[in-house]
Amino acid sequence: MERNEDGYVAENESYPVFNIDGEMDGMSSNFFMDHVGEVLLTINSNKLYWKVLQAGNKELNPSSCFGIKLASNVETEIEISDVYAVELINWGMIHDSDRPNGGGYLLGLDSEMFRFTVHGYQRSKTNHCQCILVAYTFGHKDLQTCQVWVDRVTSFINMDDRRPKNILVFIHPLSGKGNGCRTWESVAPIFSRAKVKTKVTVTQRAGQAFDVMASIEDIELKSYDGVVSVGGDGFFNEILNGLLRSRHNAALPPAPEEIVHFVANTGTNEIEPEISNQDQDPLLQCSGSRLSSFRNGIEARSTGQNATLSFPNEHLRLGIIPAGSTDAIVICTTGTRDPITSALQIVLGKRVCLDIAQVVRWKTTTFSNDAPFVRYAASFAGYGFYGDVIKESENLRWMGPKRYDYAGTKVFLKHRSYEAEVSYVEVSEELEDPTSKNILDSGTRSFVSAEKPERVICRVNCRICSESAKTTQILTNGSSLTQYNNVRTSRWLQSKGRYLSIGAAIISNRNGRAPDGLVADAHLSDGFLHLILIKDCPRAFYLWHLTQLAKKGGNPLNFKFVEHHKTPAFTFTSCGDQSVWNLDGEVLQAHQLSAQVFRGLVSLFASGPEV
């Protein structure tokens, strides 16, 4: 390649690159890279890479010390899958090499030329789950050459049809520390560069996002590739319920009265299910049109629109940009609580399936006569300690995330237990630790199980989630159930007694206070709930359990007073007058409820935590 009289590469000097079969696989050109020097830039459908050149178009050899070659600290490539945007920035300055010995060929001076920038990301060296923005700027004296390269990079990016083009965004301005709008402002340029259209709504009141999602026509919703929430887990729950309320028409789980109970004081008992004629079962008839409104806690009829959007749905994905107090769903699905990482996974079109629990309240109080009230949860449903904490913290929102620490301490000191009855579907193939079903008793028995169970953590391309998909049955209404989800004919077990807490974890629920989550080996899409029953025990032992939750590598489930059951469905009845549940950080008053999980019911803009 020859240079003109100014020392620059001749205009329009690009040439094709051929693969081993003799087919054109890309092209190469000489450019000046900002802060690097002259490079030979090459692109193919998988990668953009460059070689630093010396004067005379020779590849720059690595520096050496005492005859030992040292690797260059200059990046030399980026995968096309890691590029989220490319933009032409026209005439401007290209700076000389930052390398101590010059390196590239820039005549020792900064120069002006036409430029384009490739935007991508790299993994953080300290936290491999976190994405760090990177930008590489290349310059050339010829505008057409830059435009050709911008078009080529864009064409390779557009080959990935998973990337969204149009999304609906809801911002909760008061989430977490009240930084919802600031969080969006920090990531909005990523969507702009990636040419993703965004329709943004900053909510002004509680329930507004639910109202919009519940009332939007399916034909309009189909015009979007996804719905993104900027806020916490509770705000995502609001959007999730608005989406599924009138669109997910699955049979409801059995009410507690449908399960024939044995009389028992403590422990676990086998229950034979009542089998009813499904054609005459009123529960099946009310599952669609009698879904209750999430907004005010009162019954409301379906909007009556002709629902054409079914679930699971591969096209419409949900996304979360974290701005809440705990952000457990984001941590479990991306591995980090970082808005930049979440925004990048959205614009790059990442996708992971997420189990969703359908929770049905049958009675608000002991003597109330209520219509079935349906709610959906993506991370957790909790009673006792968890319900009391969320109820106590509702009036302390002005404290921000610290309200949970204050409320948790206050509830812990009260050390209240509640009498309740829980029934759950037995998973016959699941080999559970036999000590997990034992309860606290007196005598010389140890309070801690001797063996440490093996944990299989959910990661990117999780084998367990993938294998569970093979056993999934897709029903005619679009719902997905595991092989255990024929809950009306399954074998049920029962546990009755006094509980400090009852929890149903859909995912591991990792967060700042519980680095491994409530259940370290819970998976994103295996079709199971993790039912955790904490029997009444001395305060010191419960504190021991909580400290294990707060400890990395702890074993909070490895106690005799803790029951842990993997199940697709359960029912709950309080023996008191009323009770409060925590659903994804939102309060639900329920004396009697049922829950079942739907495997992979929604898709999320995420890829799962990296190893």
Q: State the sign of the Cα–Cα–Cα–Cα dihedral 16, 18, 24, 28.
A: negative
HEC assignment per residue over 530-561? EEEEEECCCHHHHHHHHHHHCCCCCCCCCECC
Q: Give the 3-state secondary structure percentages of the chain, helix then strand then coil, rounded to 5.
A: 20, 35, 45
DSSP 8-class letter at 253 = P
Count the Cβ atoms, other than its own, within 10 Å of residue 607: 18
Copy the structure tokens of residue 155. Answer: 């064409």
Beta strand pairing call for 380-384 and 492-505: antiparallel
- Please list, in sequence order, all residues whose beta carbon lies within 8 angstroms of the beta carbon of residue 52, skipping any fewer than 6 positions away: 33, 36, 37, 38, 39, 59, 60, 72, 74, 76, 103, 104
Q: Is 403 helix (H, G, I), strand (E, B) or coil?
A: helix
> What whole-number distance in Å separates Cα of residue 382 and Cα of residue 583?
7
Options 142, 233, 355, 526, the catalytic residue = 233
Provide the β-strand partners of residue 534.
501, 562
Q: Is 199 helix (H, G, I), strand (E, B) or coil?
A: strand
Q: How far apart are the first and last CA of the chain?
A: 45
H runs (alpha helix) in 194-247: 208-215, 218-221, 233-244
Q: Is 233 a catalytic residue?
A: yes
H runs (alpha helix) in 433-475: 463-470
Q: Is 562 helix (H, G, I), strand (E, B) or coil?
A: strand
CA angle 565, 569, 572 (to 5 degrees): 85
Burial class (CB in 10 A: 0-12, 13-18, 19+), 271: buried
DSSP 8-class letter at 263 = P
Active site residues: 233
